[in-house]
Each structure stands twice: as structure tokens, then as C-alpha cells.
Structure 1
Amino acid sequence: MSTTAVAAVEDEDETHRVRRRRRLSPGRRLPAARLAGPALVIALWAVASAAGQLDPGAIPAPWTVLRTAGRLWTDGTLPGDVLTSLERATYGFLIGLTAGVALALASGLSRVGEALIDGTVQLNRAIPPLGLIPLFILWLGIGETFKITIIAIVVYIPIYLNTHAALSGIDSRYVELAEVQGLSRFRFIRQIVIPGALPGFFVGLRLGVTGSWLGLIVLEQINATSGLGYMMFQAQNYGQTDVILVGLLIYGVFGLVSDSVVRLVERRVLSWRRTLSS
């Protein structure tokens, strides 16, 4: 077989492998494809409601929930509650993000830092953050401060754990290469530490952004006067299942959108990685 024929066969094999990787890769799918599952659930919900298979008092039909959402939005109740919930989640998330990254870097880049920080964070991890609510109410009162603090704790723990694990998992050969090349501390962090920690950081970021909404839905039902959780708590007292579902659906949309944004940023920042999802 001639050299040209061999090269043609190799090119054809390589093209076949690339196409196969693209078919297998979930990262190539359109972001809108993630809506297929929720859309299917809503469709089944609508069909079951139309067929009379669901008790309207327990699970109202989707169109009933939409009408309720429109009414709450029109009378000004829903916009204020949504804005309040977004502010609480944002402040808590930013504080938790900053604390998680700072502690992970201090612990991952220093043996002294790891001795002082890691054990404390692991102890904090073993205590359910929502179990700290009574203590934080005594310390900080029942205002916004304790709610934001609990959300920050819920957020910082997964960010710290995953970022610290990524830092600890950096190949020692890269560290030895940096020493041989005589890289400064700053260049070592910029060229070795940050790229090596980013994959773990984004895993923790996705867990943290989801955790902020999970914590919020509980905290807003404790001594609150506004927010989606407060709206749902009031609806529970009056047996308004449709209002409760409006709040749950909005929480779900916030969680899906925030997770999708993090995944989009991750895909762009880590475009140099060649993985199944890249």
C-alpha cells in the first residue's frame, strides 16, 4: 500500500474517532436540551390534571398555577418577594464564595494553613448548617444578618472542599518542574495552582450555588416578613396550594438558571480541557 493510501486511511480513522467523540459528548448538546426533562414533567402534570387524575385541592393544574402567578405579579406581591429572595441569596453566595476560595488557598498552599483551617472546616462540615439556626438567632438576631450568614456557610463548605481537593491533587511533577524552571511564587500560583484548581472549584461552585437556594427556602420561613419562603409559609396557613407551587417553581427556575450559567462559564474558562463533556 502506498504512503498516500496509508495517510488517507489514517485521516479517515481520525475523522471517524472525532465524530464518535462528538456523538458521545454531552457537552455538545444545546443548552436548551436541558429543558426537555422539566418540559416532560410539566406535560405529564397537565395531562393528568386534564384527565382528572389529580386532586385540584392537593395539586392544582399548571394553568391554575400560572393564573395565580399572574395575579400575584399584578398585585405587586410576587415582584417584591422575588427581589428580596434574590438579594439574600446573592449576598450569602458572594460571602460564601469569597470565604471558600480564600480558605482553600490558605489551606492548600501552606502546611500551617492546612493544620489550622482544614480540621476546623471538616468539623463545620459535620454540623448541619440549618442546625446552627437557633444559635445564630441568639447571636445575630432574627434580621437579615443571620439568614445571609447561614447561606454563606452552606455555600462556602462545598467550594472549600472541592477547591482544596483539587489543589491537593495537583501532580507533583508540575511542582518539581516549576522549581526547576525557577518560577516565582506569583507565577507558580498563576500558571500551576489556578489552572489545576479550576476544575474542582467549578464543581464546588455548582454545589454552592444550588445550596444557596436550598438554604434560602428554609430560612425565609423563619421569622421573615418577605421573600418567596415567607409567601409559601403564609399560603400554607391558608391552604393555598397553588401559591406554594408558584414559589417552588420559581425556586426551581432560579436553581436551573444559576446552574446553567455556572456550566456555561466553566465550559468557556476550561475550554483547554479535553474531556467527555468538553
Structure 2
Amino acid sequence: PAVALTEGAGGPRRTGVLRLLTGVAVLAGGGLLLRLAASRPAGELDKAGQASLLGSLVLLVAVGLLGPVAARVLATVLGAPARVLVPRAGWLADANLRGYAARLSSAVVPVALLVGLSGTMLILTGTAEHAARATGAETSVTKASDVWLREMELGLLVCFAAVSTVNTLVALTADRRREFALLRLVGATRPQLLRMLSVEAALTTAIGVLLGAAVAATASAAFSLAVTGSVVPVVPGPQCARVVLGAAGLTVPGIVGTGLWAVGGSAVEPTGGERE
């Protein structure tokens, strides 16, 4: 009954052809920029860094366009273990994430943006500093004044991405009151719905982190190839771990906290009117 009732309220399930084609074109453009970065001579560290950072931004745009497809694929892969580990809540969470790919994409893209931007800048800086120490050359990437400025820029970007992440997740979860009411009418309890949301939050975080990490890894590999001759960059582990923990700290409370409000009240009233 829940599936039948919510089928008409979930919005379009297929990603438009124009969006897919645009996403593929943007993805190809990002690949060309990273190829340009990787082909820079070792002495042009600044240019390689600029091309890599720009390439990561273009790839994040591609993630936004291709998000529904990428999110559905990752949700299918990560949802299988959730079904086994948490049978009831995991089944519902997996079905929701895979069934509403557009909604899932809207949730994971801000997380991917946060992780992708932060991770790229942190890894590029770590790799550049390592290369500068090895060669004794100082560039705008390693000068103290520019490092401070870059840290300020990173802080502003992280703040922007964090606000965007929280706002998006809160809005998406709050808009599901009718869905939660329908599930309660067919027998789901509030604790069961909160467990479902907890699993969804964990999966959403994992998908967003994986997409952002893929962008950061690709961009930093191109930069590392240009400045060190190896595709393996220098990864500042503790700093990157803090980024991942920060993303989880925004995503999980944002979804579960809003869910506490959304599953409350009467189960009849939200299902009676039209969805706004």
C-alpha cells in the first residue's frame, strides 16, 4: 500500500537525456583540464595546480548533473550490505534511496562538494609542499602568505558548502512528512522510521563522501603526475579524516534531527491534503 500511494508523489524517476548529455560533456571537459594539468612540466607547479583545481570544479559540476545516475548505482552497491546488517530499516532505506534517485542526488551533491573541494585543496597543497622541499623551489603554492590566503579561501568554501549541505538535507527531510505519514498508516512506528532515516543518513554520507573523494583523487593524481612523476599524491591523512568526519557530522544530525520532527504529529493530516 505504501508503494502504491507514494508512487505518484515521488516526482520524475528518469534523468533527462539533455541532462545526461550535458553531464557527459562536462565530465569530458574536466578530463581534458586534468590531462592539461598532468602534462605540465615539473617547473610549472603553479599552472598545474590551477588546472587541477579548475578541473576538480568542473568534475563537481558533472557530479551535479550526473548525480541521479551515480547516486543510484552507489546506492545499489552500498544498500545490499545495509539490507543484511539492518534487515527491516535497511530494506526501507535502500528502497527509498534507489527509488528516488533525484532526491538522493540533491542530498549527496552538497556532501560531495564539501568533500571534493576540501580534499582537493588539502591534497594539492600537501603534494606541492612535498615537491618544493624535494627541489628547494618556492612557488605561490608554498609561500607562507599564499598558504594563509588559501586556508582562508578553503575555510570560506567549507562554510558555504556546510550551510548548503545542512539547508538541503533539512528541506528534503522535512518535505517527506506525507511519505512518513503513509508509512505510519500501514503499520510503521516512529522508532522504525527513525532507524530507517539513520540508515539513509549513513548511506547518503557514504555516497557523498565517495563521489567527493573520487573527484579529489582524480584531480590530485593529475597534479602529482605533473610535479612528482607519480600519480600517487601526498595525502594529509588527519586533515582529510577531519573533512570526512565533518561531512558525517553535518549529514547524519541534519537528516535524523529533522526526521524527529517530520515523523511526529498525526499520521492522518499530512496525507489528506496536496503536497506543497
Query: What is the TM-score with the length of structure 2 in the denominator?
Result: 0.30
Please identify the structure whose Cα radius of gyration is greater.
1
Query: What is the TM-score with the length of structure 1 in the denominator?
Result: 0.30
Higher relative contact order, chain-length normalized (CA < 8 Å, sep 6+): 2
